[in-house]
Amino acid sequence: MESVNGVIVENLVVRYGDICAVNNVSFHAASGEVTAILGPNGAGKTSVIEVCEGFAKGSSGHVEVLGLHPIHDHDKLTTRMGVMLQGGGIYPSARVCDVVQQFCDIYDKQCNADELIAMVGLDERRQHIWKRLSGGEQQRVSLALVLAAQPDVVFLDEPTSGVDVNGRLIIRDIVTKLAHDGCTVLLATHELAEAEKVADHIVIFDHGRVAAAGSIGELRKGHEYTRFTSNQNLDIADLSRALGCSVTRAQNSGDYNIAVVSTPAIIAALSSWLHEKNLPLHHVSSLESLEDMFSRIVAASENKT
C-alpha cells in the first residue's frame, strides 16, 4: 500500500439548493489510522463522505484523497479505493463465490476469492446467493469486495449494522489490520461501542459542522469520571455526602457516575459506604465512554446553535 497524505478536507461546503448540509468542515484522516465519523442523522456525515469518494461535488472548499482530487482524478483513485456501502449494491441472485471472483478479476490485484471469503468468515456460504444471506452476512460479503481492491483508502458505511457478535469480531480485526498495513480507513457509524474499539481518531459532526475532533483520549480530557454498578435506587444524596462529590445515575439501570477520576481513596470510601448498607459493588471503571462523550459534545454543540 502506498497511501499518501490520507484524506484531507479543508473548508468544505456542500449545499443542496438553499440547504447547507456541510458548513465549512475541515479534518484530516491519516494513513495507517482508523478515523471514525460520528454524528446524529442529518449531521452531514454522508455528504462529506460522498464528496471524498468522488460521488458528489462540494460547493466550495478543498478535498484530497491520497494526494488526488476525488472527481478530476477519479480514474486513478478507483483502483486504490474501497467503498463499502450499507446497501451493498450487489445483484440479488449472484452467488457469493461468483461476485467476489468478479471483483478480484476487475481489480486484477491477484487476490484469491476463496481466501477473501474465508477471511470474512463465510466459507460455508460461498455457494449461497446474495438474497438468501442474513443482513450481517451481506455486510461481510461487501467487505470482501472492498478487500479485493487491496485499497490504500477505505470508506466504510455502517460496516457492523445487523452483524452478529462473531461477525463484529471478524470485521473489527480486518479494519484494524487494514490500518496497520498503512491503509487510510474512514468509518461512518452509529455503533459507538464498535467505533471505540477500533478508532484512532474521532470526528464528530453536528448540524453540518465539526463539533469536535481528536483521539478518544484528547476528547475525554477533563471529563473522566468513576462509574460503578450496584443495586438500583441507591440513596445518591447520602452517597454524595459520604464521598464529598456529586453522584448521579447513568442511563443504564444500576449504573452510577461519580464526578471525579477513580482513586484508591474514592474506591475505598465507595466500598465502605456500600458495605455498611450491605449493598454489592459489581463493577468500577474510570473512563468516559464514547457514548457519553458523544452525547456531551453534541449537546454542547446544539447549545451553541
Q: What are the chain's domains? A: 226-286 (3.30.70)
Task: Count Cβ neighbours within 10 Å for each residue of 70-103 and write b for 16 or more, e otherwise.
Answer: beeeeeebeebbbbbbbebebeeeebbbbbbbbb
What pLDDT digit, counting tens, does each position of 132-173 carry?
999 999 999 999 999 999 999 999 988 998 899 999 999 999
What pLDDT digit, counting tens, does each position of 185-242 carry?
999 988 888 888 899 999 999 999 999 999 988 887 767 788 899 998 899 999 999 9
Question: Once rounded to an integer, what is the mean pLDDT over residues 263-282?
Answer: 93
* Entry pTM: 0.79
Question: Once rounded to an integer, what is the mean pLDDT over residues 75-100?
Answer: 89
* Interatomic CA distance for residues 75 and 295, integer angstroms: 40
CA angle at 82 for the pair 187 and 171, rounded to the nearest 5°:
50
Question: Once rounded to an integer, what is the mean pLDDT over residues 9-26?
Answer: 96
Beta-strand relationship, 184-188 and 201-206: unpaired
What pLDDT digit, counting tens, does each position of 92-141 carry?
999 999 999 999 999 999 899 999 999 999 999 999 999 999 999 999 99
pLDDT at 3: 44
Instruction: Return mean pLDDT, the chain.
Output: 90
* Between 272 and 295, residue with greater pLDDT: 272
Q: Which residue has the cell 471514525?
A: 36
* Between 253 and 43, residue with greater pLDDT: 43
Position 41 pLDDT exceeds 80: yes
pLDDT at 4: 57
